[in-house]
Amino acid sequence: MGSFHSDDRFIYLDDDYMEFYIPKAYFDDSKTEERRIAVDYSDYIDTLGIFYCGLFDKNKKFKEFKILNQPYPIKVYAHRSEERLVNIAGEQEPVMCKVLSFIKNDKVMDSLLVQDSVNALHFMNMLIEGKLPKIPYDKLPSVWRKNQVMNKVNFGIRTELEEVIISLNYRNPNDLSQSFSIPYGSNLSVSPYDYKTINSRQICQYSSTYASLTFEDIDSMLTTSINRSRDKGTEHYSPIEDVIKM
C-alpha cells in the first residue's frame, strides 16, 4: 500500500496522490443500510474496507493497483469523488466505481476501529451469499480470520471447516457443479480471480438432482436438473437418494 501516518483520530496520506475505487454495487439501494456493503453520506462513506486502490507517482502517473485489506467497516472521507469505469482484476468488464482521490496530507479515514460481533456476522453473511468483492482465492481464509480477530469473535469452528465453506461457495465458472479449488489446485495457469461465487442456498442446485429436491425454489431446481441431464453433467451422490428409494 501507499504511505500513511495517523494521530489519535485519523489516518492521513503521505504519498503525493492516491485513488480508492469503491464499486457502485456496494451502494445497493434495494437493501437496508444495515445490509449494504457501503453507504454514502456525502462527506464520508461507510464501507467494508476491501476494495482496490490506485497508486500514483508525484506526476500522477499510474503505478499499480493494490487491495485495501481491511475486512471490517471503515469510514472513508470523500474530499473529491466521481463515478468512473475502472478495470478491476478478475472482472471481465470494466466496473463502475465511485472514485475517491486523495493528495498528500489529506484525511483519508478514521484511525479508530469499532469492534462489534455484528461486523463479523455481516462479513460471514456476505461470504455465504456470494457477495464479497473479488479477493484472490488463496487469500480468502486469512481475510476471513482477520475479520474475526479484529472483531474479537470466535465462531468455534476449525479453520479446515472455514475452508470447506469457502470451497463450497466458490465455484468453477465453467462447471458450477465443481468447486473452484479443483481447477485452481491442479492447474498453475488458473488465476486466483477466475472463480464464480454462489449463494450457499444454491449449492444443492448444482450438486445433484436429488439434492435439488430439498430446495424451496422447485422451479429453478427442476430447470437446472433437466439441463444437467440433457447436457450429461456431473451428478454427485446425495444421501437423500437412499431415503427416497427406501
- State the average pLDDT for the chain: 83
Residue 239 and residue 246 in contact, taking contact as beta carbons nearer than 8 Å:
no
Question: Percent of the chain having pLDDT more than 70?
Answer: 80
> Mean pLDDT over residues 55-61, rounded?
90
| pLDDT tens profile 91-113 | 878 999 999 999 999 999 999 88
Instruction: Read off the pLDDT of residues 4-39 as tens digits, 9 standing for 90 and up.
Output: 999 889 999 999 999 999 999 889 877 666 667 899
pLDDT reading at 213 higher than 60: no
Confidence check: pLDDT of 61 > 50: yes
